[in-house]
Amino acid sequence: MSDIKKVVLAYSGGLDTSVIVRWLQDTYGCEVVTFTADLGQGEEVEPARAKAEALGVKEIFIEDLREEFVRDFVFPMFRANTVYEGEYLLGTSIARPLIAKKLIDIANRTGADAISHGATGKGNDQVRFELGAYALKPGVHVIAPWREWDLNSREKLLAYCDERNIPVEKKKGKSPYSMDANLLHISYEGMVLEDPWAEAEEDMWRWSVSPEKAPDTPSYIELSYEQGDIVAIDGQAMKAHEVLAYLNKVAGDNGIGRLDIVENRYVGMKSRGCYETPGGTVMLKAHRAIESITLDREVAHLKDSIMPRYAEVIYNGYWWSPEREALQALIDQTQTYVNGTVRLKLYKGNVDVVGRKSSDSLFDEKIATFEEDQGAYDQKDAAGFIKLNALRLRIAASKGRKL
């Protein structure tokens, strides 16, 4: 297409995106700008610069987004205790809106008229990238090579590289799985995992030991909260990304955070994947614990009722949407008094809450005690309360209705 002069590509430096650089140059005759994000994936991102230069790329952007990622995306999501389909902590999903935002930022700065990504036509990521891009820049052109080319296998991609002298590392011992990593999680798909009956291989996991091999002595940690976000661990103030990195290490060392699920993709198919989310697993348990003593009952129940909708919004790629902003405003308002400290025991794959305290606690020992409450609560009042709430049941039963 002659009207495409410059494209910003989400570039990892791996096989797929290296091929995409040359394919865009050959197919569209355009200039390619690369963007590589450090989201805490645990691998060096700077080598992507040399790879991009070798492909003739002149404008190369590499950004450390770890703090922005956790502070502005992961933490807001965890204020809602977000879980998709009862298990998945949305580690991949929550990274996509930030990448989409940066692609559009760079497109605006460089005068590019298109963006591109390496997501396949079968997955959720194509939807997440593109919904975000269109929300932030309605007129942007999106190029998704996997929906256009016929290079639909690793062998074809490598052959393309050989034909065009594209430098690609063929690492020995490279993981056979399709993986995505950031500070919140690592995901694994493909190979043996395509059979939902097959158990994941032990040597697949990278961030955690198996619960069987975890230490025989538990680890205790204390997380301090301010307005729903963790601000310190064991009394040590930390930035958002430092919090998550620390929790990943201590939880992974204790065999915490492994997950094997079959999920429903937005595009309609079921997909089996394995995830490691050690820090996130701890965060979810701890946040619910601090909310248990600081949130009003009806507010807590309201949050629980909207959480599945909020999780679906994020999973399906609608972070940059009016409904997510409306839900976020409600969620964030509930966090005003979610302050205090939670003490946790981490042991062989388990996260146990063993203590919680807050100056904003609604837990009143004088009322909740089994001992003499000195008139704070008149137990005789409960009889009327029960009768009034049973009234509709009593009327139905008196009319002969059977349950």
DSSP 9-42: EE--SSHHHHHHHHHHHHHH--EEEEEEEESS-S
Per-residue confidence (pLDDT) for residue 94, from 0 to 100: 98
46 against 361, higher pLDDT = 361
How many angstroms separate the Cα of 398 from the Cα of each of 3, 119, 394? Answer: 77, 62, 6
Q: Which residues, listed in sequence order, are joined to residue 276 by a DSSP beta bridge?
A: 186, 258
Query: pLDDT grade, residue 175 (50/70/90)?
Result: low
Question: For residue 197, what pLDDT band results from cuts at 50, 70 and 90?
Answer: very high
How many whole angstroms separate alpha carbon 379 and alpha carbon 375? Answer: 9
pLDDT digit string (tens) for 212-263? 999 999 999 999 999 999 999 999 999 999 999 999 999 999 999 999 999 9
Q: How confident is the model at residue 157 (pLDDT cuts 50, 70, 90)?
A: confident
Average pLDDT over residues 340-365: 97
Which residues are designated catalytic?
A: 16, 96, 125, 178
Mean pLDDT of the residues in the chain: 94
Domains belonging to the chain, first-starting first, are 6-66+90-164 (3.40.50.620), 178-295+337-357 (3.90.1260.10)
| Model pLDDT, residue 14 | 86
Q: What is the pLDDT of residue 209?
A: 97
Residues 359, 339 contacting (CB under 8 angstroms): yes
pLDDT of 135-148, one tens digit each?
Answer: 999 999 999 999 99
pLDDT value at residue 154? 78
CA distance 387 to 389: 5
pLDDT at 277 over 70: yes
For the cut 60, the answer to whether the pLDDT of residue 100 exceeds it is: yes
Q: What is the CA radius of gyration of the chain?
A: 25
DSSP 70: I
Structure confidence at residue 265 (pLDDT): 94
Please give the pLDDT value at position 253: 98
Helix, strand and coil content of the chain, in percent to the nearest 5, comes to 45, 20, 35
Task: Return d(Cα 185, Cα 205) in angstroms, integer.
Answer: 11
Predicted pLDDT at 371? 72
Under the banding of pLDDT at 50, 70 and 90, the label for residue 110 is very high
pLDDT of residue 155: 85
pLDDT at position 173 over 60: no
Instruction: Kindly state the average pLDDT of the residues 290-310.
Output: 98
Inform me whether the pLDDT recorded for 376 exceeds 80. Answer: no
Supply the pLDDT for residue 171: 54
Q: Burial level of 181, CB count in 10 A (0-12/13-18/19+)?
A: buried
Amino acid at position 343, single letter: R
